[in-house]
Amino acid sequence: MRARKAGIATLLPLAALGVSCGSADPQEVPGPAPVTSSAAAGALSIEEVAGGFEHGWDTGFLPSGEVLVPQRPGRIALVSGTTPGSTVTEVKADLSDVYARGEGGLMGLVVHPDFAETRRFTTCQTHQENGQPVDVRLVTWTLSQDGSSADRITDLLTGLPVNSSGRHSGCRPAIGPDGELLVGTGDSASAAVPQDRGSLGGKVLRIDLATGEPLPDNPFADSPDPAQQRVYSFGHRNIQGVAVRPVNGQIFAAEHGPSVDDEVNLIKAGGNYGWDPSRGGTEDSYDESVPMTDTERFPDAVSPVWTSGEITEAICGAAFVSGEQWGPLDGALAVVALKGQKMLLFTLDESGTVTEVALPPEFDDAYGRLRSVRSGPDGALYVTTSDGEDDKLLRVAPAS
């Protein structure tokens, strides 16, 4: 793999970068957490599984060992395996309605837990009609037995907000601890959306994977508004990663800040995460000078467990590391970054507080922008790059 976008190879302590880590308790002020190098936990092996993608947005692992990779322009690839030299074929699917612009297009994907019986998977995608974006929606598909094509079954959920530039389209899905569908959404760069519980934007949504309906134990299930019934948390800017912690079902989200303060958040049912570019409805423009988590306007706003501080990492996909082969990193939260072009590994205590952060040097200035990370069936992490030309699917594991 050739090196890309040189100039960021030096690793600095997070404190020097303005980064802070804090308690999962929203009443506590974030404080610094120690930084380690990956050498303390063991070196990583990074292998190229396949290439030739264009903004591979996600990965979905099939029982056969194959991997689905959605690409932003509106294509789905089927990778033959998870080892170097795996072949890539295009899945024939009617994606003609995908509006691919800016941060929107064909985005996140989840394979249904019962895929072996149903062959179903669900995508996040920007929908267009007559060349104009209408919304971001969740679409459920059935993959043919030979993997060569996919049939559209249903629009599982429609109405996630969108703008013509595609900005803040969000839409990262994950299977929840009880088999439900969690979806992190963007606020479409619309001032009132994050704090409006009647909008599906700037939220974590929690819905039935089969029907798209809200779950009866959602925090706003008693609302007469069907959109609000689906809301699990609100006050978000642009969620790009959602991960469920295997040991206890805690939900974490990776979120883009304006030009500072990218956040990792521990998601609480009914929690307000404090992003309000409308300044309490007094500002029609999208005012990005407000705090990412505005505890002055919203005293009960949930503080992040980590923030990038005064720099922009553009953190993206998130996944938990799992398996004894990872040694001290077993159970860590892996988050990848677009602008930062790195992987961050967060060690968490039982409450979800960040206690340590590792920055594996193997990713320094070598693989470009990193879009997604998922934990594979073999315990390795699978990362997609997102430079827009000959993007890669990478396998990341402890070096032997």
Residues in contact with 366: Cβ distance below 8 Å, sequence separation at least 6, in sequence order: 1, 3, 4, 46
Tell me how many degrees the CA angle 156-157-163 measures, rounded to the nearest 5: 135
Q: What is the pLDDT of residues 158-197, one digit of tens each?
A: 999 999 999 999 999 999 999 999 999 999 999 999 999 9
The DSSP line for 95-148 is -TTB--BTTBSEEEEEE-TTHHHH-EEEEEEEEEETTEEEEEEEEEEEE-TTSS
pLDDT of residue 139: 98
Please say whether the beta carbons of 307 and 257 come within 8 A: yes
Alpha carbons 234 and 270: distance in angstroms, whole number: 7
Compute CA 287 distance to the chain's CA centroid, rounded to the nearest angstrom: 24
DSSP assignment string, 304-341: PSEE-TTS---EEEEEE--SGGGGGGTTPEEEEESSS-
The average confidence (pLDDT) of the chain is 91
> Half-sphere exposure (CA, 13 Å, Cβ side) for 291?
14
Q: Which residue has the higher pLDDT, 8 or 317?
A: 317
**At 365, is the pLDDT very low, low, confident or very high (cuts 50, 70, 90)?**
confident
Q: What is the pLDDT of residues 227-276, one digit of tens each?
A: 999 999 999 999 999 999 999 999 999 999 999 999 999 999 999 999 99
User: Can you give the pLDDT at residue 358?
Assistant: 93
Radius of gyration of the chain (CA): 20
Q: Is the pLDDT of residue 391 over 60?
A: yes
Which position has the token pair 């072949």?
87
Distance between CA atoms of 152 and 247, rounded to whole angstroms?
34
Whether residue 80 is predicted with pLDDT greater than 50 in this model: the reply is: yes
Q: What is the pLDDT of residue 42?
A: 65
CA angle 26, 27, 31 (to 5 degrees): 85
What is d(CA 143, CA 385) in angstroms, rounded to the nearest whole number? 25
At 244, list the tokens: 């469920």
Summarised one tens digit per residue, pLDDT across range 31-52 is 445 555 444 456 999 999 999 9
According to the model, what pLDDT value does residue 31 have? Answer: 45
Beta bridge partners of 98: 127
Q: Which residues are 252's β-sheet partners?
A: 243, 266
Which pLDDT score is estimated for 41?
52
Looking at this protein, which amino acid is placed at residue 82?
Answer: T
Lowest mean pLDDT among 36-50, 84-98, 206-220, 312-326: 36-50
Residue 111, beta-bridge partner list: 121
Four-CA torsion 103, 199, 212, 274, nearest 10 degrees: 80
pLDDT digits (tens, 9 = 90+) for 320-341: 999 999 999 999 999 999 999 9
Task: State pLDDT tens for residues 221-230.
Answer: 999 999 999 9
Q: Is 4 left (phi over 0), alpha (psi -120 to 50) or beta?
A: beta
Q: Is the pLDDT of residue 30 over 60?
A: no
**pLDDT band at 364, cuts 50/70/90?**
confident
Q: Is the pLDDT of residue 25 over 80?
A: no
pLDDT at 20: 53
Q: What percent of the chain has pLDDT over 90?
A: 88
Main-chain phi, psi angles of 362, to 5 degrees: -60, -20
